[in-house]
Structure 1
Amino acid sequence: MHEVKPTVPLLALSFFAADVQAGVGPFLGIFLQAHGWTPDRIGSVLTIGGIVGMLVTAPAGALVDASTYRRMIVALASGLSIVAALIIWIWQGFWPVTLSQIATAIGGAAMGPALVGITLGMVGRQNFDRQFGRNQVANHAGNIAAALLSGWLGATLGMPWIFGMSAGFGVACIVTAFWIPGRSVHPHFARGLARHDDDDASDIRAKGFSVLWRNRPLLVLAIALACFNLGNSAMLPLYSLAAASAHVADPSQVTAANIVISQVVMLAAAAYASRLTRRWGFWWILFVTLATLPLRAMTAAWMPPLWGLLPVQVFDGIGAGLQSVAVPSLIVHLLHGTGRVNLGQGAVQGVQAGGACLSPLLGG
């Protein structure tokens, strides 16, 4: 009997982790609106979750660097997503929903650096971009599956069942995380401590936290992504709310269609992201992703929800799909040899979250 390659459970984990990282997303706004919540109240709850996510991503990355129990970190993050989904299913008061968003934010913040660390420790720096590209294809496929299931469940059984599905994805994450053989993840490669894939880094010490703010390209990257998320993050929830308010179609199906369109494009973009970055370089690819934001915003502003659904989400898919591979790969490149790769991943995600958490507040 042939032993399963470690990358197989890694891809399975990436598939199910999609729902843990994103939570129920725009479906939450539709669900809360149906329970009498106003857009500004919904925006406030999402902002609280975003602030928590912003604050915990860098510490989560530092924990992934310091720990050799990265699969356990994934399991704990998944457990938080299960608890969050069950809370929303049972209670729709302001504080229970807020607590659920805090749990979702912490789980999502830990999941991102943990998946980067596991991948880097499994394949090394030289092959990281290729494998992480495959991971992201699986991740976007998981988002597509979750969105289709959510649309079907919301239309046939009711919106609360979407949260049950989210809890199921969290359970699957825990199972697939421990399916990965522990010995397949090299502890020094996983944090970018070894300078070369065949080095023994047992006597090398990680650099101090100051390596983050002394790295000017890393700072430029973080600021640019924060501005991108400030304009981008609230667009899909608000677009879905506009469709729901106009009563032009079933809200859960419109929201699912929004997600599926963007995720299909993201999947295609992620599949080619590694190849494109190797040909054109990281910065040109990132420039293309940033340019999609004003195009998406103008389309959303000038076209009614159903007519603008396709172009708005295509632009989102191109930008987010390329970023999902290019940004983690660039951070690995910039912090290679410091032993702080996952801290850098968390810090950049935290700055991104700063823009993302202000976006629904201003939009609402």
Structure 2
Amino acid sequence: MDEKSREPSQKSLISLDFLNLFLSDVRDGVGPYLAIFLKASENWHPADIGIAMSASTVATVIAQTPAGGLVDRLRQKRMLIVAGATLVSIGCIVIALLPSFPVVIGGQILIGLAAAVFPPAIAAISLGLVGHNKFDRRVGRNEAFNHGGNVLAAVLAGVVGHFITRKGIFFLVAAMAGASAVAVSRIREKEIDHELARGAAAEDEDTPEKEGHQVSGFMQLFSDRRILLFCLAVILFHFANAAMLPLVGQRLSEGKATGATLYMSACMIVAQLVMIPSASLAGRLAHTARKPVFLLAFAVLPIRGVLYTLTDNPYFLVSVQILDGVAGGIFGVLSVLMVADLTKGTGRFNITQGALNTAIGIGAGLSNLIAGFVVEKAGYNTAFLGLAAIAAVATVIFWMLVPETKGSHKAQSLVSSES
């Protein structure tokens, strides 16, 4: 079957929807709620919280590229997601039951290892089901369901954390992990084209890579200047972005015995509600061009960082999350699409995506670690302004140096044939 005629069953497509819905809050464990739990319930210092928050991203950095290579190589992509969901459940439960420093770090490492598997595995299954021609809209739909799941999880976490116990949030994430394992098992294995899923050339395309499904060398890919510049921009973007919401959570919890969990839930709900239409619209607009859509996500980040310094009013801080929703919805869609563009026909889609997510993990891990120390020495406003400045640099690099990737594969093939 060639790529244009691929028609996966409704059962597989709906199961993929539910997988993204349930896996939404599982991919990052308890995320910013961990900062509130450790600050308000366990009285941890900001620097120690920064170390704990960065532990999972350090584990992700180490595992992300090998995980992408594993997804490229193995046909058991569904089982990789089940294994990852199991690790998240174990990590969340041990943190809730035994919140000592070594246990929290260990649980965060398990969650980080699982987080390395989910993005490339979901992207590979999606590409293997629908093909390149429908991939932009499928990724937009994936992200819309993902953010819808985050809204549901944030509402439940706010209720559980405020009215029952903060520890209940950890068990909520563990339950969603179990539900995601059930959803992925209902996707029909026979409908996933595993060659297409790793970025091999489509059967209806005349490319040198198609014959024998040849796979490009890893170093060959990363000698591509376009990929390197794209990774640099993304590292800086996530360095600027990752610590912002946890810092807002810590700021909201200062001097407040109650209410911090509800405010954090409100921050996440506002952002995720905006991300649903943002992701869906990004998938549609990206069908014409990638770069202008993605540039908007970069541009709003420095504005968001500056706005956080204007007031401590919780309602204002929550409203700023609208900008996070715009950027997050676009980023989740366009980062996957641009990697698919840059690696089309190479057979290295998932390992490249894994390497990109390693770059994201580096940015996020350093962000949480350094921001925690900056807050301790110079205060929250200094940390927010520093992150905003880095976001501005990322925006300039992406705007000036990263090329448009829509149709870049055809251009590359034409150049190769002429030479």
Task: Sort the TM-score into its range (normalised by shorter chain).
Answer: over 0.9
How far 1:360 sits from its partner (Å)?
1.0
Task: Give the superposition deviation at 1:275.
Answer: 1.7
Give the distance between the partners of 1:20 and 1:196, measured in 2 at CA. Answer: 35
Is residue 209 of structure 2 the alignment partner of residue 203 of structure 1? no
Deviates most, 215-224 or 245-254: 245-254
2: CA distance, partners of 1:238 / 1:329: 30
Give unmatched runs, 5+ long, in structure 2. 1-8, 373-419
1:232–1:293 CA contact under 8 A, matched in 2: yes
Which residue number in structure 1 is paired with residue 390 of structure 2?
Answer: none
Rg larger for: 2
> In structure 1, how many angstroms separate the alpha carbons of the residues matched to 2:21 and 2:237?
25
Query: Is 1:174 aligned with 2:188?
Result: no
The answer for the alignment partner of 1:235 in structure 2 is: 244
Cα deviation for residue 214 of structure 1 reads 1.8
Q: Distance in 2 between matches of 1:99 and 1:294?
A: 33
State the match for 1:129 in structure 2.
Answer: 136
Q: 2:20 aligns with which of 8, 14, 23?
A: 14
Q: Do residues 213 (structure 1) and 222 (structure 2) align?
A: yes
SS in 2 for 1:302: coil
State the shift of 1:157 in Å. 1.0
1:64 matched to 2:71 = yes
CA offsets 1:186-238 (integer angstroms, 9 cap, x no match): 11011011244679958222111113312221111111111111111111111
Q: Which is further off, 245-254 or 156-165?
A: 245-254
Give the number of aligned pairs: 361
Aligned to 2:93: 86
Q: Is the 8 A contact 1:285 1:322 kept in 2?
A: yes
Aligned to 1:148: 155
Secondary structure of residue in 1 paired with 2:169: helix
User: CA RMSD of the aligned region, Å?
Assistant: 1.6
**Aligned residue number for residue 82 of structure 2:** 75
1:350 pairs with 2:358: yes
In the alignment, which residue of structure 1 is the partner of 2:254? 245
Alignment match, 2:170:
163
Instruction: Give CA-to-partner distance per residue, 1:330-355, whole Å, 9 cap, x none.
Output: 11011000000001111111111111
Kept after mapping to 2: 8 A contact 1:43/1:360: yes
Q: What is the rounded CA distance, in whole Å, between the counterparts of 2:101 and 2:271 in structure 1?
A: 30
Which amino acid in structure 2 is aligned with residue 220 of structure 1?
Answer: L
Question: 4+ residue runs of structure 1 moved beyond 3 angstroms?
Answer: 195-202
Amino acid at match of 2:253: A
Q: Are 1:318 and 2:322 an aligned pair? A: no
- Matched to 1:324, the amino acid is G
Among 225, 231, 234, which residue is 1:222 paired with? 231
Counterparts of 1:98 and 1:322 in 2: how far apart (Å)? Answer: 31
> Does the 8 Å contact 1:59/1:346 carry over to 2?
yes
How many angstroms apart in 2 are the aligned matches of 1:202 and 1:31? 54
Q: How big is each residue's C-alpha offset from its partner over 1:222-257, in whole Å with a ceiling of 9 and x where there is no partner?
A: 111111111111111110111110429611101100
Q: Could you list the runs of 5+ residues in structure 1 that have no partner in the other structure? A: none
8 A Cα contact 2:81 2:184, kept in partner: yes
Letter in 2 for 1:13: L
Counterpart of 2:276 (choices 262, 267, 270) is: 267
When normalised by structure 2's length, the TM-score is 0.83
- Residues 257 and 332 of structure 1: CA distance in aligned 2, closer, same or farther (over 3 Å): same
1:311 Cα offset (Å): 3.8
Residue 104 of structure 1 aligns to a residue whose secondary structure is: helix
Letter in 1 for 2:254: S
